[in-house]
Amino acid sequence: MSRTKLKNEEITVTIESYVFEGKGLARHRNTLPDGTEKDLVIFVDHAYPGDTAVVEIRKKKKNYFEAVIRELITPSPYRQTALCKYFGVCGGCRQQDMVYEQQTKFKHEQVVNLFTRQGSFSDFEILDIVPAPSEFYYRNKMEFTFARKRWLTRDEIQGDAQFSDALFAGLHVPGVYDKVIDIEECFLQSRESNAILNYSRDFFLKKGIPAYTTSDHTGFLRNLVIRQTGNTNQLMVNMVTAGENPELMGEYSGYIRALVPEITTIVNNINLGKASVAVGEYEIVIYGPGYIEDVIGHCRFRISTNSFFQTNTRQAERLYAIAREFAGIKKSDVVYDLYCGAGTISLYVAEDAKEVYGFEASASSIKDAAVNQQINNNSNTRFFESNLYKSFLPEVEGNNLPKPDILITDPPRNGMHTTTVEDILKLKPGKIVYISCNPATQVRDIKLLAEGGYKLQKIQPVDMFPHTYHIENVALLKYEV
């Protein structure tokens, strides 16, 4: 039996359960300095229930330890062979070696545990998780990075691999920013996306065009962003560069369109800054309209290079349908949509309501929302740029807006600001539909709303991102005080 130290030690454990953010939970009997025995909690990265493994303790926290697998002795029955050859290096599909049906079961359990244990909620309806219709090729947006250095696998290093090329394109290893995994095939977006990536790399490599590097801020190529619609067969190529070169980009446009005729528009975003972001200060449309359009339900939406749009179109349709069903909007209802982005949910539910008011902090998203409103010939929706990290009540009061009967909120991963929660409690809408990409912060916010008189009615998880630990969840609350 080991002593308390444990850090950096290797021990054998069996994984009991799967917890949030893709870790397996194990317990290890340990003798404390005073001679008493205690089961220590150990979270093991990339470990599944049923795994028996030798693990190395990496970190000691207040109430638990963190570890990594050093040797898998007996694999979990839920393990399978990953399809992608970059699995285990690339951080994109961390659960690709788990049977998909089991992925959804674990995600459902995690959401339920967060609400019943962390949130201490009871007496509410728990609907089954909605699995994704496709395990692969489900993303409508992929962002690749150009680099001068590539990440070498352990086998390549041991084989003394040599690479003379000076341009690589692909995805980052988590925590490594000056190198990329030189991707040939990714199963997240589409076969057309893979072709565009490979042909683009070949074109610029032959031209001798260097990647931008943050080490000395020289070079031209920064990112390749590919956006693809789920329902309208439109395809955007957005090349993010550190400057302009119209002749080169014109030649590239002709080259790539000849090889991938499905491309409907090509845009060049110019990022003159030093930050490693795939967004430019301005853009030049090289070919086509400079945007794509997709359909969700009865609505059509314009997607520009930097617009926010749900990454899984088919599951977004299901997500919005669930939110709409939960809301149960009547023709007499006033609806508020917080964090409305480009107005997708606002416009999707607008035909059910008397009026819809969307609030969003991003000025560019508000402009996109206005365009989408015109495309859909909508007349009962208004959008407001509002500081949702401070208060959205000034826009409500300054524009003399009616109070909401129903409020829909879809905040980012860190959830709603406490001031935003306070604003909602002042307005007291009869129903709240809370859509979240992070159930942990969703539970935190709903506990605050419950203190203000709201009762949790039901929840429904939706798997938007197969092979990852991310999960969306829709919750319905009603005011009962």
Q: What does residue 138 show for φ and ψ, rounded to 5 degrees?
A: -105, -15
Reply yes or no on whether 186 is catalytic: no
Q: What is the DSSP string of 163-177?
A: -----EEEEPPTT--
Q: What is the DSSP string of 68-112?
A: EEEEEEE--TTB---S-TTBTTBSS-TTTTB-HHHHHHHHHHHHH
Q: Which listed residue (84, 90, 299, 437) is catalytic?
A: 437
C-beta of residue 386 within 8 angstroms of C-beta of residue 305: no
**Looking at the chain, how many residues does it have?**
481
In terms of Cβ atoms closer than 10 Å to its own Cβ (0-12, 13-18, 19+), residue 237 is buried
Look at residues 475, 421, 411 and name the one whose alpha carbon lies nearest to residue 453.
421
Q: CA dist 28 to 17, 71, 72, 77, 183, Å?
A: 14, 17, 17, 22, 40
Q: What does residue 18 show for φ and ψ, rounded to 5 degrees?
A: -115, 130
CA pseudo-torsion sign 56, 59, 60, 66: negative
Element (H, E) at 386: none
* Two tokens, residue 279: 């967004």
d(Cα 232, Cα 229) in Å, to the nearest integer? Answer: 6
Q: What is the DSSP string of 24-80?
A: EEEEEEEE-TTS-EEEEEEEEET--TT-EEEEEEEEE-SS-EEEEEEEEEE--TTB-
3-class DSSP assignment, residue 142: strand
Q: What is the β-pairing status of strands 381-385 and 355-360?
A: parallel
C-beta of residue 420 within 8 angstroms of C-beta of residue 459: no
Catalytic residues: 437
